Chain A
C-alpha cells in the first residue's frame, strides 16, 4: 500500500463524453503526476502538479487537463473522449517534484 488512492477503479464512457478521475496523494506529498498506460505499454507522462500549479506536461492535447487542490489531492479531466483514450490512468505522488513517485492502483477507463 502506497497511501495513494484513486477513484473510481473502473469506468465506462461513451465517445465524446467528458470524464473526471480523482487522486488522493500520500500524506505530506505536495506533488502529483498523472500517467496514461495503454495495454501492453509502459506509462506515458501526462502532466505534473506541484503545490497546485502545473509544472510539467507531456505530449497530450489540451483536452487533457487537471487540477491540484490545497490538500494536494488532484483531478484529471478529459474532454471529448476518443476510443484511443481507453487506458489505465495512473496517479503518483511524491514528497517533492524531484523525489521518487508512489503510484495508486489506477483507474481503468474504457471508451465505447
Chain B
C-alpha cells in the first residue's frame, strides 16, 4: 500500500502557483519525500526530493511541515505543459535498498 495520500485531481490557472498537497503521516525519520510527475504516456520525470528542510530547484519548491507528516509541492508559475499526474512518494528502505512505492497521484490540469 502507498504510504502517501494525495487528492485525485486539481485545477490551476495558467500563470498561477500550483500547490499540490501530500499527506505522509507514517513517515519515519530516515525516509525522504520524493515528487515525480508523469505526462500522458511518458515515463515519470523526477522533480524534487527532501528530508526535512524546504527545497527549491529550477522546477519547483518542496515545503515539508516540521512534523514531516505532510508536504506541498509548489510550481510557482504553472504553464499548460505542467498538466500531468503528480506523484508524492516516500522512499521506503527495504533491507539495504530503496524502492519507491507509488500511489495513484494527483492529476493536475492547468487551464488557460
- In the complex the two chains form, is A56's CB within 8 Å of B99's CB? yes
- Taking a contact as CB atoms under 8 Å apart, the answer to whether A97 and B97 are in contact is yes
Taken residue by residue from 54 to 65, chain A's Cβ proximity to chain B (1 for < 8 Å, 0 otherwise) reads as 011010000000
Considering only CB atoms, which chain A residue lies closest to B42 in the complex?
A: A105
- Alpha-carbon gap, A32 to B34, bound state (A): 18
> Taking the nearest CB of chain B, how far is it from the CB of A95, in angstroms?
12
CB A108 to nearest CB in B, in angstroms, measures: 8
Known contacts A56-B94, A90-B44; is A100 also within 8 Å of B102 by CB?
no
Q: B residues within 8 A CB of A106? A: 42-43
| A83 CB → nearest B CB, Å | 21
Nearest opposing residue in chain B for A6, CB measure: B43
Nearest CB on B from A59, distance (A): 11
Chain A residues, CB < 8 A from B65 = none
The number of residues on chain A lying at the interface, defined by a beta carbon within 8 Å of a beta carbon of chain B, is 26
Contacting B at CB under 8 A, from A79-112, are: 88, 90, 92, 97-98, 100-106
10 pairs from A and B in contact (CB 8 Å cutoff)? A2-B43, A42-B104, A43-B44, A44-B102, A48-B97, A55-B95, A88-B41, A92-B44, A101-B46, A106-B43
- A35-B100, A42-B105, A97-B97 known, 18 other contacts, Cβ within 8 Å: A2-B45, A33-B100, A42-B2, A42-B103, A42-B104, A43-B44, A48-B97, A50-B97, A88-B41, A90-B44, A92-B43, A97-B96, A100-B49, A102-B46, A103-B43, A103-B45, A105-B42, A106-B42
